[in-house]
Amino acid sequence: MAGHLFFDPFLFPQRIGWYSLSQYHQDRKTFFLDKTTYISGCRGDNNTPAHNHKQDFKTTMNGAELLVQALENEGVTFIFGIPGEENLAFLEALRTSTIKLILTRHEQAAGFMAATYGRLTGKPGVCLATLGPGATNFVTSVSHALLGGMPCLFITGQKPIKKSKQGRFQIIDVVRMMEPITKMTRQIVGADSIPSLVREAFRVAVQEKSGPVHLELPEDIAAETARASVFPVTRVINPQVSENVIADTIPILAQAKNPLLLIAAAANRRRTCSAIEDFIERTGIYFFSTQMGKGVVNEYHQRCLGTAALSDNDYLHCAIDRADLIVNVGHDVVEKPPFFMTRKGVKVIHINYFRAAIDDVYFPQYELIGDITHTMRGLARRIQPDSLAGDGYFFRIKQEIEKNIFQRQQNESIPFSPQRLVSVIRENIPEDSILSLDNGMYKIWFARNYKATNPSSILLDNALATMGAGLPVALTAKMLHPEKKVVAICGDGGFMMNSQELETAVRLRLDLVVLLLRDDALGMIRWKQAGMNLPDFGLEFGNPDFVLYAESYGACGHRITRHDELASTLQTCLNRPGVHLIDIPINYSENTSVLIEELKQKTCLL
């Protein structure tokens, strides 16, 4: 930093008299932000040509400052994380940058938050941790971003690589650890390579299938003098399927008697909804979605058959069994299978940004690889109107699905039944709200019973399906969409894996509602255990008093003790500022009665 101050135009002697430190930082920030001013040099009150002026700053930069400048250049606005001693030069560079540091209480949460930034904006989210233990805490969130296709950059520190007096203290090979779970991982071995590495990292992160990248900044490289300058940011354009391939697909679609459209994760990553909607309107095709495809097209649509919450044997699978062709937009095998392909069964057209990974349960016969919006528009343009509506069976199964899936919503018992819970929530939150679901039994019920109306309005992870993401994901959603209501829905097991982030939410003054579904157990696993006819063992725990727990963080705690309290408490929390936690007792006995017993009885012969 010393070199920076030497050339700093804001410390010219005539200005020092009235200058407060915070004003200094503010002006310096604006100076670096305002590219026009920077290049013309007018604020610096000298006539040095733009090029030389820039050069002055470059010669005085260290690696950490150049890394921060490269991130600013990429448009980064937040960095989530927990710095360690190895990140101090980076932290110092961050202090006077335009980037806001969001300090979290666990690196895993920082990773989830950065991944969600990428998921919701399409631009890489960035997070920071120290070497060794900080980096290992990132592993779950890196994996969540990898399987979920969320663009993000994980930055970790490291001891000096050239000369160090610390032996092997805290050192593990982080770059190798990151290798199988990132799209790119590099140690920065020279400060001047930072601009190209950052540019490459951002390009790789957003290219489909988008995902996590990692850079390690060792202490000595962070301190090293840097002379390189950042690269201009260029757009990466997705390849497109050729018109010939699109034309060749039309007869395959036209020959199908009962085609179905499947909408899945990749369709929710980018803005594909209007192209998919147009395809549905033009062709009359019935559709369903995976859990991660929910909301791309409004689930109240008359041709929507719902979400494949289960892989098999739900009412929806009657339609899938009847289909002779499935047009799969955006599903890849990292998502829990929405149905199982068999050798003699339904044919599948795989439409995605990238090729299919062949698996025993997924081996599509046709692949259209390229930009999804382009493909769907191309198909819609060439297909005969109303040609994919089927023979009437899907209309009948739609009535059956609506009748059966929503039949227990009026159950007024306490603890809450999952179906009742979902319906009260659906009725009481605005349509454009964002729900962030952690992983537990309730996720299946929400996937099956909650009708989503907007893309990315249900943030759930059905790829890594990790517990602990619900709350951190909700924090980023609220930061990015302060105008929307954001509700985190967590089981008592998953919530306690990252509940410390209540403090972060309170510190950031976010308006957030957390629904804590309490069954004093790992309900989902308990259900599976029972389903395997195993004795009930090893899956119950005690809980803190969640109302007091929330209040100890400065949040507001609420407890539901009567079934008719939930709607009004939810309304109150949604309309009051601050972080609210609502402790809701839940009874999962419907898991067996509905998802096993009732589904065994069903018949698809309509």
Ligand X SMILES: Cc1ncc(C[n+]2csc(CCOP(=O)(O)OP(=O)(O)O)c2C)c(N)n1
Buried/exposed code over 593-603 (b: 16+ C-beta within 10 A; e: otherwise): ebbeeeeeeee
Indicate the residue among 181 and 325 with the shorter CB distance to ligand X.
181
Residue in 112, 58, 384, 138 with CA at minimum distance from that of residue 251 = 384
Does 491 contact Mg ion by CB under 5 A? yes
Span near ligand X by CB under 6 A; candidates 38-46, 67-75, 275-283, 488-496: 488-496
Query: Contacting ligand X (CB under 6 A), which of 8, 65, 216, 519?
Result: 519
Sequence-distant (≥ 6) Cβ neighbours of residue 494 within 8 angstroms: 438, 439, 440, 467, 468, 469, 470
- Closest approach of ligand X to the CB of residue 488, in Å: 12
Give the sign of the dihedral formed by CA 393, CA 399, CA 402, CA 404.
negative
Judged on CB neighbours under 10 Å (0-12, 13-18, 19+), 313 is middle
Indicate the residue among 83 and 523 with the shorter CB distance to Mg ion.
523
Span near ligand X by CB under 6 A; candidates 314-322, 424-432, 463-471, 549-557: 463-471
Does 467 contact ligand X by CB under 6 A? yes
Contact partner, 524, from ligand X, Mg ion, none, Cβ < 5-8 Å per class: ligand X
Residues 37-76 that bind Mg ion (CB under 5 A): none
- Closest approach of Mg ion to the CB of residue 490, in Å: 9
- Closest approach of ligand X to the CB of residue 115, in Å: 15
Query: Contacting ligand X (CB under 6 A), which of 523, 553, 582, 594?
Result: 523
- Closest approach of ligand X to the CB of residue 5, in Å: 46
Does 522 contact ligand X by CB under 6 A? yes
What residue number has its CB nearest to Mg ion?
491
**What backbone phi and psi angles, to 5 degrees, belong to 27?**
-65, -35
Does 493 contact ligand X by CB under 6 A? yes
Pure H helices in 149-256: 174-178, 194-206, 219-223, 243-255
Does 450 contact ligand X by CB under 6 A? no
Q: Are 335 and 292 in contact (CB under 8 A)?
A: yes
Indicate the residue among 151 and 493 with the shorter CB distance to Mg ion.
493
Contact partner, 467, from ligand X, Mg ion, none, Cβ < 5-8 Å per class: ligand X
Does 523 contact Mg ion by CB under 5 A? yes
Residue in 244, 177, 241 with CA at minimum distance from that of residue 212 = 177
Indicate the residue among 134 and 494 with the shorter CB distance to ligand X.
494
Indicate the residue among 455 and 493 with the shorter CB distance to Mg ion.
493
H or E segment at 448?
Answer: helix 441-449
Query: Contacting ligand X (CB under 6 A), which of 152, 491, 574, 583?
Result: 491
The long-range contacts involving 318-323, CB below 8 angstroms and separated by at least 24 positions, are 318/397, 318/400, 318/602, 318/604, 318/606, 319/260, 319/286, 319/288, 319/393, 319/394, 319/397, 320/260, 320/288, 320/346, 321/604, 322/258, 322/393, 322/394, 322/397, 322/604, 323/258, 323/259, 323/260
Q: Which two tokens stand for residue 379?
A: 């198909």
Does 519 contact Mg ion by CB under 5 A? yes
Q: Which two tokens stand for residue 388?
A: 């994919």
Residues 193-252 that bind Mg ion (CB under 5 A): none
Query: Contacting Mg ion (CB under 5 A), which of 65, 492, 583, 590?
Result: 492
Query: Contacting ligand X (CB under 6 A), which of 111, 134, 149, 494?
Result: 494
Q: Give the whole-angstrom CA distance, residue 466 versus residue 527.
A: 18
Helix axes 243-255, 372-382, angle to 10 degrees: 60
Residues touching ligand X, count (CB under 6 A): 19
Does 465 contact ligand X by CB under 6 A? yes
Query: Contacting ligand X (CB under 6 A), which of 198, 405, 459, 517?
Result: 517
- Closest approach of Mg ion to the CB of residue 587, in Å: 11
Query: Contacting ligand X (CB under 6 A), which of 172, 525, 547, 604?
Result: 525
Q: Are 262 and 291 in contact (CB under 8 A)?
A: no
Span near Mg ion by CB under 5 A; candidates 62-70, 194-202, 491-499, 556-564: 491-499
Query: Contacting ligand X (CB under 6 A), which of 104, 272, 417, 439?
Result: 439
Number of H helices, E strands in the chain: 29, 20
Q: Give the whole-angstrom CA distance, residue 423 versus residue 432.
A: 16
Q: What is the binding site for ligand X (CB under 6 A)?
A: 439-442, 465-468, 491-494, 517, 519, 521-525
